[in-house]
Structure 1
């Protein structure tokens, strides 16, 4: 039993992803479970936002709010994201892409233009990075995305019915709900409910294991989207392969930029770890729905990379509580 618990602790993220995939496939292809699947589907949809709220609340309880401020690497990671997006949009327009080629590029674009994942501070803290710097960039990244989407999407997809003000306000609303609300609650708890705050911050790796549970749900949804994608298998594999290459490039580029500012971990997670749930939503809403397979695959690749990073730090004995 001790060895099993150790295994779960060491490989929380891969176990969560594998469990989410197997549970979905079990319910999807077992006729006897059709009733249970119908009942549980909306329940899971409601539970996931709750998990994200709890993850961020626990993480923000450990934040020193006086240290939340922009730093140099924030600028260069933001510039790099804008440069990646500008290059891809330029290629789409220059070659007048359409059909499956355009869908392929849209799948890649959603993985680049999406904001930094709300759970990125959890991994950064686990790897020994600066929690406050990562939290600050998570907010900045959402504003960069809010500016880029209404500018770029109408240029590459004429059917993208999106105004600048509407898109910016919609994303701003999401930032307020997803990020500001748990941060405000954490600030209140930290300064007024000291006993409860001490208990929350005293539970080792609480936010990390909550994130593992949410990852199980997200992976199940991702597998569902891939299984029901109306496209040739070869095309889906091509999207998955490009998502893997892009994931590696973004993590590597972020770490390369970060090493100039002694923020290798933070910058790598900032550019590489994306809010894929948001990316899937914008693909469905404004682009060809099939392009959502891109961020769907990206979430698997980024969490495999996170798992390897955590495994390496654990082997070195440098892993931190989160």
Structure 2
């Protein structure tokens, strides 16, 4: 058993970097497969892994807290502040940095947070709350910082199916088939492997996008990638600091640091200068390196069963 657990831990540690490397190398076949399926691979995987995770959550456990308020306030205020700060230097970099902060928490943050020991109900609450609030506020921010008019309905249409539907399906399963829901909840580690497949597809599409991009200068691309790295590290650090004040640093870190980068890239390409989408694209890589490190560290802190 020790050998099996040791192997499992090491697979988890190298899994995300390996998925990113494989996704980058197979970017063309992956992009072609995504196009053939009508861009449905990633949404399907996200739906399934959220369904598995939400089977562990009871609605009465989901309560907004002051931690949620401070995290949301940080996102809104800092996204506008960093845009104003960087705008005199570069409008494109300002837009890219802004969207990396404004983007709501990733749907899969609940999965990774659970692996890191975060309270799943706390994270599920923030996931629902944050995505709804950002769907309401993003049209206002993007209208003033972008190139066109962004509507609440457009953003909500991208969020709601992957947020509300798996939660509703999981609660129906808990009500109609409680034994099945309990079994699914007890085997929620399967969500991690679904996330790996999703990550492989996302990185493949991201790599293909960067290769095909012709309008951006190398300097602009580097500044956007660097801005995404700095923002990623700051958000994980601040999130953990806020979470620590409320007894759950892992929930705080994942809630603020792990972003819905698929939505962020779409918002940047649709309502900002398309080149600015390099920042949330780079953020995909940075946040998953951070997640890999956190999982490795968490596994080393947890003693193996003897």
TM-score over 0.5 for the pair: yes
Matches within 5 A, 1:76-91: 76-91=70-85
The structural deviation recorded for 1:69 is: 1.0
CA contact (8 A) 1:14 1:304 kept: yes
Alignment correspondent of 2:65: 71
Matches within 5 A, 1:1-322: 7-24=10-27, 27=29, 38=32, 41-43=35-37, 45-91=39-85, 95=88, 101-157=90-146, 159-162=147-150, 167-203=151-187, 205-230=189-214, 231-317=216-302
Q: 1:9 to 1:258 in 2, by over 3 A?
A: closer
Q: 1:47 to 1:318 in 2, by over 3 A?
A: farther
* Superposition TM-score, scaled by structure 2 size: 0.91
Tell me the number of residue pairs that the alignment of Structure 1 and Structure 2 aligns: 300
Q: 1:21 to 1:147 in 2, by over 3 A?
A: same
Distance 1:301 1:22 in 2: 18
Distance 2:38 2:15 in 1: 20
The structural deviation recorded for 1:47 is: 1.3
The structural deviation recorded for 1:125 is: 0.5
The structural deviation recorded for 1:148 is: 2.7
Distance 2:174 2:227 in 1: 43
Q: Structure 1 stretches of 5 or more lacking a match?
A: 29-36
Q: 1:82 to 1:39 in 2, by over 3 A?
A: closer
Distance 1:127 1:64 in 2: 20
CA contact (8 A) 1:68 1:136 kept: yes
Distance 1:204 1:131 in 2: 11
Cα RMSD for the two superposed structures = 2.2
The structural deviation recorded for 1:59 is: 0.6
Deviations 1:92-133 (A, max 9, x none): 66x3x6xxx111111111111110101111011101111001
* Superposition TM-score, scaled by structure 1 size: 0.86
Distance 1:190 1:204 in 2: 14
Q: 1:16 to 1:168 in 2, by over 3 A?
A: same
Distance 1:15 1:79 in 2: 35
CA contact (8 A) 2:79 2:99 kept: no
Q: 1:16 to 1:87 in 2, by over 3 A?
A: same
Deviations 1:114-171 (A, max 9, x none): 10101111011101111001111111111231233222222223x3133xxxx22233
Q: Structure 2 stretches of 5 or more lacking a match?
A: none
Distance 2:13 2:234 in 1: 26
